[in-house]
Structure 1
Amino acid sequence: MQLSTMELGETIRSYRKERGLRLEDLADDQISVSTISNIERGYSHVKEEKVRYLLEKLGIDFHQLNALETKQKQKDDLYLLELKAVETWISSGNSKRAWEWLKKNRLSETHALAHFYHFSKGKYYFSQEDYEKAITEYQTVLRITKVAHVHHPLELECYREICHSLYLLGSYEQSLEVADRGMEWIEEGEKRKKNKDAELTLAGLRVLCLIQLERMNEAYYFYSSFWSDVPLIRSSYLIIQLYMGKVRLSRALGLNKEAIQLLEEAIRWCGENGEHSLVCECWLMLANVYHEQGLIEFADVAYRTALALEDRIKERSLVVQTYLEYGMFYLKEQQYEAAKEKIEQVVFLSKRWNDFTSLAKAYVYLGDLQVELNQLENGLNQYLQAKEIAKKGSAQIRLTVLERLAETYRTMEDDQKFMDSLIEKFAFEQELREKVGH
């Protein structure tokens, strides 16, 4: 009879606890407390004779063992089914219910299903955008499988999720390192159960990290190793990010024709899969490519198409971004009335949705428009409005506003206010540096 300690561990633990026995009650000169603990944890390095000896001490014969294992398997299968339900709740937005279950049904790290539990917990934290806690849970899974001396398919998924979390945190070097470790895991285990989605996602995240680190040639070469399989990735968002990444690479390498072709493919793919927001993002990027090439009419069509999706887009920020980019396009092309119309719509929507960063940007661009028309006083008033609003927005927009004010005062030959604006800008930059230092 070949015994698997991974399968037996939890069965033995449950049987012992049901009889109120401690580890110390079973230990003797032939089997130590630590060995019994290792058996219950399912560690594969424990000698089989020790397992047999422990079964004899517990009074478990072969027929009884089968019954106990069947009972334990039913319990484990039910628990795993409930974990699948938890993941469904998470993906459907019912995170509160998922968290309540995870709190109520927590497992110790020595439990045979602990790695599944901590993986689901990592999924929960990821859904809440608490990426650091998610990473901790996934690292716990890797630690559990390492201590148990087993190679579990869940390890690859953990590498993928840690890599993704670090990427979203902006830790691109670390994310790349984890992606490489995941690739090594794949190469080391030819006989391991494959997870194509995890492999492709890891490869995709790796190339996105290379792009963020501006290792463009390496990224472009690596794309060729998996690009044909990209449609097999389950995450629509990641697929479109890979398209966007390759577009960025193509543009950086001067391959504008390829960039346009990729965007057209992405638009078709997103449309077929009902990803309206992603379609909008693709049309915006296509508009930027056309505009950079001086194809003004083409860019106008692309912007207009993106805006036509307004009613189908759920993300308010994307609607505002579309109006804002369209207004900036008209401003650069000196079509001032059209620019003003689009930017004023940004003001309206930003006030309605309390989007202070976009509202400040809108007033900056309205100020730019007035300056372009040589209406410096009007432009100055717009910048001053932007300055007050920018206090509630991002740091970058505050710096932009202070730069615009300083430049306007210089043009108006108001030396005192020009210097005051420069000093205020310098002080704010110093404040930001100190925050980063802490």
Structure 2
Amino acid sequence: MKQLALHEIGEVIRKVRKDRGLRLEDLADENISPATVSNIERGVAHVSPEKISYLLEKLNLPMSKLPEMLIKEQEEIKKVKFELLSVATLRRIGLIDEALEKLEALNLDDNHPYIAHVYYYKGECYMSKYKWKQAERALYNALRISQQNPYKESNMEAASYLLLGLIRYKQNNIEQALELTSTGIEVFNDKGDNQHIRCLLYRNKGVYLQRMGRITEGMRLIQDVWEMIPGIDDINTLLGFYWLRAEFSRQSGLLDEAIEYATEGIEISRLNKQYDSMCDLWTVLGSVYTTKKDWEMAETSFKMALKLEGKFPPDQRLTTVYTRLGILYIKQGRNNEAKEALKTAINFAERFNDAPRLSTSLIILGDLYHMCNQIEEAVSSYQKALEISQKHKYQDKEFKIWFSLARCYDGRDEEGFQNCMRSMYNVKKEFNRWEVEDYENNI
């Protein structure tokens, strides 16, 4: 018996047992254990042919009838696959409740070969409704079942880790998002189906490294996987890698390389009408030209990014555009325009509960107020950023904020100044390393 045949026979045995209302224990005796029956049903390869034959005899299932029963079972599985395809389509077009109803109507048990897919799609649907707890519950079920399955062809385990990482990212826990995504890469089956999951895992890992400021590690990752770029069919994933390559090149000081990948990505996104990616790539260009002190081209790039507003659903990327535009204006001494841009960035970050970008934008606005000698406004902005940083344990930012507040209190409020210095020490003590962070790089 080949492995695939074992798996198919196991499905038939499981279905017959369920149809007859039998438990695993009901088929066990001194010759075969419940665990062995379970292994046969799941198609585990190390079960001996004698045990399989013995179980078939107990069920009164002659081998001659198996081909017919296998065909019937395969037809039922095809129907389930068809229903899952319709579920995926419904979710994609926004009919989430209808997709969830279809999934519930399938009523599959935990031994069905596609039950992990059902839980996975439930997780996707709940994510679309921003119901994070229900989504996590469904995905952990998909993970549990896929880990128990000896066959890893569908890569459901890796796919579940992918979405679990994304959920943590959406909840502003980037460190856990990175950890889950890295695990997904480790368990990915290179010979299995759904090869696009591998590309998504690497892309998301790159994004999380960029958001954490781990530039060297991120650049190495993108360079290592760049050879897979020509084989990527999904245009969004492809452009995500172009953005990462351009952004990491910029942050590494490879400005001409950043311009090369950004402009190439803009051309691809223009031809494919991918306006959100075009916005990202114009933003990278604006930041590159800001670093080059080419103010005119920098402002043109940022304004090109903003012209795309309304061409895609508003999201966190608009926070980045307005914040980096504010930084450009600060460098040019256009302080009033900088304040307006940063306030707009903060509004977008608050709207989308984007704690990392919100805290960074508030810090930059506080610095601008301090530079303009608007101390009360600076303190207010820093304190808002401090509350967010403490809540999400952004210790590097917290250190920076305490230092900035100390500057505000110096010579004005000795007690407040001393409290800030003590707080800086406490943060430094807990946070083993401190690197002066270029906050623009995390926008």
User: What TM-score, normalized by structure 2, do the two folds share?
Assistant: 0.73
Question: For 1:308-327, what aligned pairs fall within 5 Å after superposition?
Answer: 308-327=307-326
Q: 2:229, 2:238 within 8 Å by CA — same for their partners in 1?
A: no
Residue 427 of structure 2 corresponds to residue 423 of structure 1? no
Question: For 1:165-176, what aligned pairs fall within 5 Å after superposition?
Answer: 165-166=164-165, 168=169, 169-171=174-176, 172=178, 175-176=181-182
C-alpha distance in 2, partners of 1:213/1:7? 48
Question: For 1:14-413, what aligned pairs fall within 5 Å after superposition?
Answer: 14-21=15-22, 23=24, 26-27=27-28, 31-61=32-62, 64-102=65-103, 105=106, 107-124=108-125, 128=130, 133=137, 136-146=140-150, 150=151, 152-155=152-155, 157-162=156-161, 165-166=164-165, 168=169, 169-171=174-176, 172=178, 175-176=181-182, 178-182=184-188, 185-186=189-190, 192=191, 195-204=194-203, 212=214, 214-215=216-217, 218-219=220-221, 221-229=223-231, 232-234=232-234, 236=236, 238-343=237-342, 349=347, 353=351, 368-369=367-368, 371-372=370-371, 376=373, 379-386=374-381, 393-395=388-390, 403-410=403-410, 413=411
Q: 2:164, 2:180 within 8 Å by CA — same for their partners in 1?
A: no
- The structure that has the greater radius of gyration is 1
C-alpha distance in 1, partners of 2:92/2:76? 25
- Unaligned runs of 5+ residues in structure 2 are 432-443
Q: 2:120, 2:160 within 8 Å by CA — same for their partners in 1?
A: no
Q: Percent same amino acid among aligned pairs?
A: 24
Q: Report deviation, 1:403.
A: 4.3
Q: 1:122, 1:135 within 8 Å by CA — same for their partners in 2?
A: yes
C-alpha distance in 2, partners of 1:315/1:385? 27
Alignment-mate amino acid for residue 408 of structure 1: C
Alignment-mate amino acid for residue 85 of structure 1: S
Q: Report deviation, 1:261.
A: 0.9
Q: 1:322 to 1:429 in 2, by over 3 A?
A: farther
Q: Secondary structure at the match of 1:110?
A: coil
RMSD (Å), alpha carbons? 4.3
Number of residues paired by the alignment? 412
Q: Secondary structure at the match of 1:311?
A: coil
- Unaligned runs of 5+ residues in structure 1 are 187-191
Q: 2:366, 2:379 within 8 Å by CA — same for their partners in 1?
A: no
Q: Deviations over 1:75-128 (max 9, x none)?
A: 322223223333334444444444455556554443343443344345456655
Q: Secondary structure at the match of 1:4?
A: helix
Q: 2:123, 2:139 within 8 Å by CA — same for their partners in 1?
A: yes
Q: 1:33 to 1:158 in 2, by over 3 A?
A: closer
Q: Report deviation, 1:289.
A: 0.7
Alignment-mate amino acid for residue 264 of structure 1: T
Q: 1:207 to 1:278 in 2, by over 3 A?
A: closer
User: What TM-score, normalized by structure 1, do the two folds share?
Assistant: 0.74
Higher relative contact order (CA 8 A, sep 6+): 2
C-alpha distance in 2, partners of 1:73/1:33? 25
Q: 1:363, 1:382 within 8 Å by CA — same for their partners in 2?
A: no
Q: 1:189 maps to what in 2?
A: none
